[in-house]
Amino acid sequence: MESHLETVALYSLKLAYETEDQSPILRDDLVMGDYQRDVFELLVRRGDVEGIQVKVGECVGLALDAVGGVEKPLGRELGRLVGEFAETQTMSQLDGPLIALRDYLKDIQ
């Protein structure tokens, strides 16, 4: 799960900050500092669903702004997916919405 969480953060931050004339954002870039696998690993070990949702929400919020918000087609779907993720209440419920969110962010890169 930690790698999926890190990937969602990476794709979100790529949408928010990466431009064609700059080098790509990588997992070890400073912008990923609070969203690296070990940070998510700690939250997962603690079973901190709310903490995970906050971290993912921060990144996806930036991605939503980058695609024009929920008023735009890409943003509507992204908003729906992050809403489903935010509604989960247990660790076992996170997997499905997390994978859907990761796959969508990958597709819109």
Listed by start position, the domains of the chain span 2-107
Q: What are 48-74's pLDDT values in tens digits?
A: 999 999 999 999 999 999 999 999 999
Question: pLDDT value at position 10?
Answer: 94
13 has a pLDDT exceeding 90: yes
3-state SS, residue 25 = coil
User: Across the chain, what does the average pLDDT equal?
Assistant: 94
The pTM score is 0.92
Question: What secondary structure letter does DSSP report for 62?
Answer: H
Mean pLDDT of 33-59: 95
Question: pLDDT value at position 27?
Answer: 85
3-state SS, residue 23 = coil
